[in-house]
Amino acid sequence: MMGRRRAIEHSGAPPFAGASFGSALLWLTATPARAAGLLDELALDPQIVSFAFSGGLAIFAAAIVVAYMRERAGWRRREAALSGELDDARARLDQAKTFLAAEPQIFVAWSAPDAEPDIHSSSLTMTGAVAAPRRILSFGAWLAPKHAEELESAVERLRQSGESFRLALAGVAGRHFDADGRAVGGSVVLRIREVSGDRLELIGLRERHAAAQSELAGLRAMLQALPAPFWIRNDAGELVFVNDAYAQAVEAKHAEDAVARKLELLDQSARSAAEDARRKNGVWQERVNAVVAGERRPLDVTQASVSGSAAAIAIDRHEVETVRADLEQQMQSHVRTLDQLPTAVASFDRERRLIYSNDAYAKLWQLDPRFLEQQPTDGQILDRLRAEQRVPVESDYRAWKERLFEAYRSPEPVRHTWHLPDGRIIDVVAHPNPKGGVTYLYDDATKAYDLETRFNALARMQSETLETLHEGVAVFGSDGRLRFSNPAFARLWRLDAEALEKRPRFDAVAAKCRALHPKDETWTALQGFVTGLNEMREGFSRRIECNDGVVLDCAAQPLLEGAALLTFVDVSADVNVERALTDRNTALLAAEKLRNDFIHHVSYELRSPLNNINGFVHLLGEESTGALNARQREYLGYVSKSSAALLAIVDDILDLATIDEDALELEMSDVDVHATMRAAIEGVQDRLAENSIDVQIVAMDDVGTFRGDAKRVRQILFNLLSNGIGFSRPGQTVTLAVLRRENEIVFKVTDRGRGISPEILERVFDRFESHTAGSRHRGVGLGLSIVRAFMELHGGKVFIDSAPGEGTTVTCVFPAHAAQHEEPRVAASAGGAE
């Protein structure tokens, strides 16, 4: 049996060997072929086997029933457990759904990078999300562009590489969202929640914190860039921050070095005061002196303390004080300058109160300086001026004043013109001040307006005068264009007035004028004068003869700013007269030459017989010739006087003829004034005696001498004395006076005769003008003519002053330069001779 059992084992015993009976039975029923084969191998009795098999089946059935009952009880227990688990899972699922629904959110899941998204929404709505959930992935439709771009990029990295992210997003409608993306198993999930409540407040706090950090960084950068020292102390009073300006002020390498070495800018007393203020959380401001980069400077220090910490800044006032001193000096200089200006200046602040006025302001408006020192308002000053009738008379004074006050609100200067009741015109300019207020400038423009009015009137009068002139006038500008022309210009040159109104150039005008005067020389000269750039242009004149027989005198004169004035005068009639006068003058010159030759010839022919007569009269008067009776002597005296008078007339005629021919030359020498006066009086002694006239000499002691022709000076005095004696009555006195003043010698001959009427006085120096006026004086009228001629040759002047019944005074003024003074002589007057 053992061997057979081993054989069975070695031959592939069934797997239920050594197993339970039920298991073996199951094996056999499952493999009936193998069971039959096994029975054949064991060589058992079929009945036994059948009995055993039936018993086994019964046992197996019983075992199956028992096992079934057991398994059924287990299955029931398992079913009850699974049912409990299912209920618990459903409860947990409901709880999870409740939790998920408690917060608005959206889940988007991707099972693969290229898979379609699975979108689940929990009461969270966006623009278009309810109608089309897939539009949630169009982030730009409901997020701000910047945040949409950030979310899209983060989702792309999550799907490709599984990179988790969490973003705070802002929606287009002012809503805030929180996006959380992460990988879960083999999928990636995006959760989007709307932020509200504490989370929204937290996001706001984060944003404000970030903004505060940015502002703090900017503030720190600004503090570092400040040119003024700045520092911060902690609650222990130690330096925790300084800027670069502080480090430079304390001569540290850098700001950290100044903090590390605890270098102080202020002295001990200032630091103590600042420390007290810091402990009290107060503000401390003080001006202190400190050493800044090796130099002592005044600093305005301001410290503010909060919760024990303090921040301070020091402003260097050195430059400010220097500028303030310079500004104060300039302001004082400007005040002194404004006080010297003729323009009235008054400055008002933003409250319309007077803060400055110069002397011209008080003088212009006749305001009391004590009133101005009270700093009145602009309205008070206007009211006072209105009461004194020194402002324009307005029907609505209040509205006028309000319009004036608009200058306080105007960004640009405002101008007014005031016509005062007293006739003055004041130009008012209101300049707005940078710090508020107004500065008024009052300029008395009365004279300017008057001058402008008169100038305009004069300009109109000149324009009208030029328009009515018969002379052609044309004014060309520096550009060569015609600026002005009168109708006479167009008429003389036969030009079209409408064409001249278009202001043509000189070339065009000259081209039209060449038809009457084709000479290029004239137009070249005029063109050079009109269009030339020489600032030292000199005017010239030219005579132009036109083809139509008209003769024009052209005059060119430079004007201001490079302009040129051309005038054309029609002198055709004058030229014709001039030609006639020239011909007549030629004939007159020939006649004059003939007359002079005749006078010279006749005079010389007369002098010879007169000299013979005088010689024979002289011989007859001598005793050697024979005695003459009284009557003969009387007749001989008449002959002598007549011949002498005739000889004097001949000499005067010869002198005049010589002067007319410009052939008379003076024999210049030092003329003794006293000697010349005595010689002239000696020549009229016979007339003085005959007419019972006295001569009085009035001469200064230092009159001396002067340069002149002694013979001609004596002849002048002789002629004047002769006239004075001839017009005087017996017993009267003729005065001959002389004096020296500066560089002149003045002779005066005065008589107390009948005088000369004004109509005759105008012709007394003309030749052959003789008016006896009822006196015994007789003459041919050459004496005063010769006097004037000789005075002109000496470079002197002669004046005559006379009135009927009061006498006559003739004054001769000789130039006395180069005269040699002699010792003064005493002058005397005695019976017609010195």
pLDDT of 331: 72
pLDDT of 287: 87
Residue 353 binned pLDDT confidence (cut-offs 50, 70, 90): very high
**pLDDT greater than 50 at residue 5:** no
**Is the Cβ–Cβ distance between 552 and 546 less than 8 Å?**
yes
Pseudo-torsion of CA 273, 279, 285, 290, nearest 10°?
40
**pLDDT greater than 80 at residue 525:** yes
DSSP 503: -
Among 336-345, 468-477, 647-656, top mean pLDDT goes to 468-477
**Is the Cβ–Cβ distance between 346 and 439 less than 8 Å?**
yes
Query: Of the candidates 454, 511, 500, which has an alpha carbon nearest to the alpha carbon of residue 473?
Result: 500
CA-to-CA distance for 595 and 657, rounded, in angstroms?
A: 9
Joined tokens for residue 200: 């929204």
Residue 450: how many CA atoms within 13 Å on its side-chain side? 8
pLDDT of 251: 86
pLDDT of 623: 67
Q: What is the pLDDT of residues 800-834, one digit of tens each?
A: 988 888 889 999 999 986 444 433 333 333 233 22
Q: What is the pLDDT of residues 735-773, one digit of tens each?
A: 999 998 888 899 999 998 888 888 787 777 776 666 555
Joined tokens for residue 412: 């640009």
Q: What average pLDDT score do residues 77-87 get? A: 87
Environment class of 63 (CB within 10 Å of its CB; exposed 0-12, middle 13-18, buried 19+): middle
Q: What is the pLDDT of residues 539-581, one digit of tens each?
A: 888 888 898 888 888 999 888 888 888 999 888 888 888 878 8
Residue 22 binned pLDDT confidence (cut-offs 50, 70, 90): very low
pLDDT of 737: 92
Q: What average pLDDT score do residues 517-531 get? A: 88
Number of neighbours of residue 680 by Cβ within 10 angstroms: 23
Decide which of 418 and 8 is more confident.
Answer: 418
Decide which of 319 and 565 is more confident.
Answer: 565
**pLDDT greater than 80 at residue 791:** yes
pLDDT of 43: 55
**Is the Cβ–Cβ distance between 229 and 245 less than 8 Å?**
yes
pLDDT of 324: 79
Backbone torsion region of residue 831, taken as left when φ is above 0, otherwise alpha when ψ lies between -120 and 50, otherwise beta: left
Q: What average pLDDT score do residues 26-47 get? A: 55
Among 21-35, 333-347, 470-484, top mean pLDDT goes to 470-484
Q: What is the pLDDT of residues 583-612, one digit of tens each?
A: 888 887 777 666 666 666 666 666 667 677
Q: What is the pLDDT of residues 633-653, one digit of tens each?
A: 777 766 766 666 666 666 666
**pLDDT greater than 60 at residue 6:** no
Q: What is the pLDDT of residues 172-217, one digit of tens each?
A: 777 788 888 888 877 888 888 877 666 667 777 777 888 888 888 8
**pLDDT greater than 60 at residue 26:** no
Among 303-307, 494-498, 663-667, 826-830, the range scoring the smallest mean pLDDT is 826-830
pLDDT of 377: 92
Residue 418's contacts (CB-CB under 8 Å, 6 or more residues apart) are 391, 392, 425, 426, 427, 428
Decide which of 161 and 23 is more confident.
Answer: 161
Decide which of 590 and 425 is more confident.
Answer: 425
Decide which of 400 and 533 is more confident.
Answer: 400
**pLDDT greater than 60 at residue 128:** no
Q: What average pLDDT score do residues 458-485 get? A: 84
pLDDT of 440: 92
**Is the Cβ–Cβ distance between 705 and 820 less than 8 Å?**
yes
CA-to-CA distance for 764 and 756, rounded, in angstroms?
A: 9
CA-to-CA distance for 300 and 106, rounded, in angstroms?
A: 62
**Is the Cβ–Cβ distance between 374 and 380 less than 8 Å?**
no
CA distances from 530 to 512, 533, 564 (A): 17, 9, 6
Q: What is the pLDDT of residues 496-522, one digit of tens each?
A: 888 888 889 998 999 999 989 988 888
Q: What average pLDDT score do residues 709-713 get? A: 86
pTM for this structure?
0.33
**Is the Cβ–Cβ distance between 720 and 758 less than 8 Å?**
no
**pLDDT greater than 50 at residue 711:** yes
The total number of residues shown for the chain amounts to 834
**pLDDT greater than 60 at residue 36:** no
**pLDDT greater than 70 at residue 46:** no
pLDDT of 376: 93
pLDDT of 18: 46
CA-to-CA distance for 765 and 420, rounded, in angstroms?
A: 61
